[in-house]
């Protein structure tokens, strides 16, 4: 049985580790290649895009793939829709692995946004010193907010337009609660902007913001393509693969 995991997330690495070495299973993990020095999963790895829906369809057929798992980042919407169309065209069963989104608790001051431009529209009314944790690829949405100051945390330096008043912090999770508290204090942050990525690795910033009574703009994640089964964790995805392998 040949399985392709569209990965790049911690959940995808965990899944590959669970399935690696399973008798009768040939596993390949695919990474987009957007980050230099990515954390590699166990087993065979390919790096780079497929060339859209047609390229992924051709790859699935050429490698006689028996199952496809979309374990990409919750905000990697384009590849998810490519995966859905390619799997349907190539008649390959598809499963989406999505960590659950964050849920506000008592004391949170959350403001939901439908997109990064929507988040940028909300910002001026909520604060002047912004902790922006939405990644480097969407900074252009905030480039026109010249009256605001941004602390931008990203894995790599941005290559697109970005806010004029910006301090860049290159770092990669997981992050600690004490570390997030110190960032908010040291930089006098008064508003946090984040995507609803879910998971524990970057959640401490939400706790730190709650403790400091800061407003938080939370960008909603794009939906999983309709009709695709979804599981919340690598254990459930591994069970899905094992059931197909045994059946």
Residue 178: DSSP 8-state: H
Say what the pLDDT of residue 8 is.
Answer: 87
- CB contact at 8 A, 53 and 59: no
- Give 147's contacts (C-beta < 8 A, 6+ positions apart): 124, 128
* Secondary structure string (H, E, C) spanning 64-90: CCCEEEECCCCCCHHHHHHHHHHHHHH
What's the longest Cα–Cα distance across the chain?
60
Burial label for 246, CB within 10 Å (0-12, 13-18, 19+), is exposed
| Domain ranges for the chain | 2-100+224-246, 109-219
Q: Which two tokens stand for residue 142?
A: 């905030």
Provide the whole-model pTM: 0.87
How do the residues of the chain divide into helix, strand and coil, expressed in percent and rounded to 5? Answer: 30, 20, 45
Closest residue by Cα to residue 83 from 54, 48, 44? 54
Say what the pLDDT of residue 36 is.
Answer: 66
- Give 77's contacts (C-beta < 8 A, 6+ positions apart): 222
DSSP lists the bridge partners of residue 155 as: none
- Give 87's contacts (C-beta < 8 A, 6+ positions apart): 60, 68, 93, 94
In order of 23, 57, 239, the CA distances from 246 in angstroms are 11, 25, 10
Burial label for 130, CB within 10 Å (0-12, 13-18, 19+), is buried
Peptide bond into 174 cis (omega under 30): yes
Same fold, 2-100+224-246 and 109-219: yes
Burial label for 62, CB within 10 Å (0-12, 13-18, 19+), is exposed
- CB contact at 8 A, 111 and 122: yes
Q: Dihedral (C-alpha) 156, 160, 161, 163: value to the nearest 10 degrees?
A: -10
- List per-residue pLDDT tens for the chain, 247 residues long: 999 999 989 999 999 999 999 999 999 999 987 766 778 899 999 999 999 999 999 999 999 999 999 999 999 879 999 999 999 999 999 999 999 999 999 999 999 999 999 999 999 999 999 999 998 889 999 999 999 999 999 988 988 899 999 999 999 888 999 999 999 999 999 999 999 999 888 899 999 999 999 999 999 999 899 899 999 999 999 999 999 999 8
Select the CATH number that applies to the domain covering 2-100+224-246 from these four: 3.30.980.10, 3.50.50.60, 1.10.10.1110, 3.40.50.720: 3.40.50.720
Helices (H) and strands (E) in the chain, counts: 7, 12
Say what the pLDDT of residue 28 is.
Answer: 97
Say what the pLDDT of residue 35 is.
Answer: 67
What CATH number should be reported for the domain whose range is 109-219? 3.40.50.720
């Amino acid at each position: 049985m040949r399985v392709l995991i569209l990965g790049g997330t911690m959940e995808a690495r965990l899944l590959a580790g669970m399935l690696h070495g399973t008798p009768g299973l040939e596993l390949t993990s695919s990474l987009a290649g957007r980050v230099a020095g990515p954390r590699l999963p166990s087993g065979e790895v390919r790096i780079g895009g497929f060339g859209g829906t047609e390229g992924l369809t051709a790859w699935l057929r050429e490698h006689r793939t028996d199952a496809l798992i979309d374990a990409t980042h919750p905000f990697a919407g384009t590849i998810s829709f490519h995966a859905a169309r390619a799997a349907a065209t190539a008649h390959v069963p598809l499963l989406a692995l999505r960590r659950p989104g964050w849920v506000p608790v008592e004391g949170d001051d959350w403001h939901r946004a439908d997109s990064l431009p929507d988040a940028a529209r909300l910002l001026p009314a909520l604060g002047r010193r912004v902790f922006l944790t939405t990644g480097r690829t969407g900074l252009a949405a905030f480039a026109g907010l010249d009256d605001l100051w941004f602390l931008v945390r990203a894995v790599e330096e941005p290559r697109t337009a970005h806010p004029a008043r910006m301090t860049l912090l290159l770092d990669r999770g997981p992050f600690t609660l004490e570390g997030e508290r110190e960032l908010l204090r040291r930089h006098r942050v008064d508003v946090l902007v984040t995507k609803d990525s879910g998971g524990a690795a970057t959640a401490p910033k939400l706790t730190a913001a709650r403790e400091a009574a800061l407003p938080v703009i939370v960008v909603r994640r794009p939906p999983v393509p309709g009709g695709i089964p979804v599981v919340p964790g690598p254990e459930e995805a591994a069970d899905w693969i094992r059931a197909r392998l045994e059946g």
